[in-house]
Amino acid sequence: MRISRAELKELMKRKFCRAGLKDDHADIVADVLVHADARGVHSHGAMRVEYYAERISKGGTNTNPNFTFTKTGPCSAVFEGDNAAGHVGAKLGMDEAIKMAKETGVAIVGVRSIGHSGALSYYVQQAAREKLIGISLCQSDPMAVPYGGAEPFYGTHPIALGAPGSDGRMITIDMATTIGAWGRILHARSKNEQIPDDWAVDENGVPTTDPYKVNALVHIAGAKGYGLAMMVDILSGVLLGLPYGNKVTSMYHDLSEGRNLGQLHIVIDPAYFTSAESFLQNITNTMNDINNLKPATGFAQVMYPGQSSASREEAYERDGIEIVDDIYNYLISDVIHNNAYDNKGAFAK
C-alpha cells in the first residue's frame, strides 16, 4: 500500500515514543527511516521499526544519553554517543562536523558507542546541502566471509559520499562492501522473494537464492571488497578504540545491552582546495556528462550515483511511499513489539 511521507514518519515516531524514546530523538530516527523509504531503500526504512522498538523497550538503546563533543585537534573531534539511538548520534555528530569544516576546511569526527544508524546517505546529504563534501563509514555485524574464508569476520561495513552540484542536485554514493546489504535480504524475506545467487552463501558455503538459508554474505569484487571492509573497520572501529572485526556485537544479541558501534564522518569544504563555484559547477557538469553518455543495450540512460533514488523520491512524494501491508498494520497497531529479535542469530528474521 502507499501512504504519504508525513503519515509514515508520524506513525514511526509515535511507535518510538511509545517504546521509550524522547520526542526529539524519535523524530530524528523516524526522519532517517522515512528518508530511506522515500528513496526506495526499504531495507533501511519502516521494516526496521519493530527491531528498534524492541531494543528501546529492553534498554539496549539509551533513552537519556550523555552526549559529549571533544575537539582533539584543529580539525578532529570525537562525539561520544553513549549508546543512544544510532541515527541520533550519527546526525548530531555530522552537525558538529559540518560546523567544524566551515571553520577549518576539513573535519574528521569519530562517533563512538552508538546503535545501528541506518542509511548513511542521510548523513552525507546533510553536508552536501551545506555545499560541502560529506563522507561517512561505519561498522556493522560480522556477517560476511572474507576472501578465502569460510566464516564471517566483517560486516556489510558501508561507505557513503555526498557531493553537491550548482543546481540543487547532488551525487550520493551509499554502498555496502558486500554485494547485497543484510537489510535487502530482510526486505526479500518480507516480500517472500528470492535473492540473486551471488549475494550470499548457506551454512555449507554454497551460493543460495533463498533469503532464509543465508548463513553469510559475500564481499564485492572478492579480495577488493574484503580490503574495503577492513579499511572501514580500521577507521570506524580500531581508530576509535571500539570493538572491531568479529568482536563487534550482533544486532540481535541481547537487546538489553548497548552495541558500542563506531562511525566516522569526514567533511570537506571545497573552497579550501579550489573555487567553490567552480567545484559546484563541475559536479553538475559531471552529472550532465554522465547522463549524455551513450547507454548500453537495455538501458535508457547512464545515471550518476543517487539519481535513481532521487527520481524515486520525487515519485513517492507525488504518489505516496510504498509500504508492505504487514509493516503498515504493525505501525498502526497498539503493539510495541512482538519479542521477535532478542537473542537471535545474526541472520534473524
Per residue in 127-168, pLDDT (tens digit) is: 999 999 999 999 999 999 999 888 899 999 999 999 999 999
Q: Give the residue-averaged pLDDT of 79-92.
A: 98
The H-or-E segment that residue 294 falls in is none
How far apart are alpha carbons 135 and 175 in whole angstroms?
A: 12
Measured in whole angstroms, the distance separating CA 313 from the mean position of its chain's CA atoms is 17
Tallying the residues shown for the chain, one arrives at 349
**Would you say 332 and 147 are in contact if contact means Cβ atoms under 8 Å apart?**
no
**Would you say 3 and 9 are in contact if contact means Cβ atoms under 8 Å apart?**
no
Q: What is the DSSP letter of 219?
A: B
pLDDT at 227 over 80: yes
Greatest extent of the chain over all pairs of C-alpha atoms, in Å: 55
The pLDDT score that the predictor gives to residue 337 is: 97
The pLDDT score that the predictor gives to residue 191 is: 85
Q: Which residues pair with 144 in a beta bridge?
A: 154, 217
Q: Where are the domains of the chain?
A: 2-274+312-332
The number of helix segments (H) and strand segments (E) in the chain equals 10, 12
Nearest to 249 by CA among 120, 178, 155, 138: 155
**Would you say 239 and 263 are in contact if contact means Cβ atoms under 8 Å apart?**
no
Q: How does pLDDT run across 308-325, given as a tens digit for each residue?
A: 999 999 999 899 999 999
Q: Minimum mean pLDDT among 27-31, 102-106, 136-140, 313-317: which range?
A: 313-317
Q: Residue 65 is placed in which grid cell?
A: 544519553
**3-state secondary structure (DSSP) of residue 301:** coil
**3-state secondary structure (DSSP) of residue 157:** coil
Q: Known catalytic residues?
A: 116
The pLDDT score that the predictor gives to residue 180 is: 78
Strands annotated E in the chain: 2-3, 68-73, 76-84, 106-114, 133-138, 144-145, 159-164, 170-175, 200-201, 216-218, 261-268, 321-322
pLDDT at 182 over 60: yes
pLDDT at 349 over 80: no
CATH number for the domain formed by residue range(s) 2-274+312-332: 3.30.1370.60
Model pTM? Answer: 0.94
Nearest to 346 by CA among 196, 193, 224, 178: 178
How far apart are alpha carbons 293 and 48 in whole angstroms?
A: 38
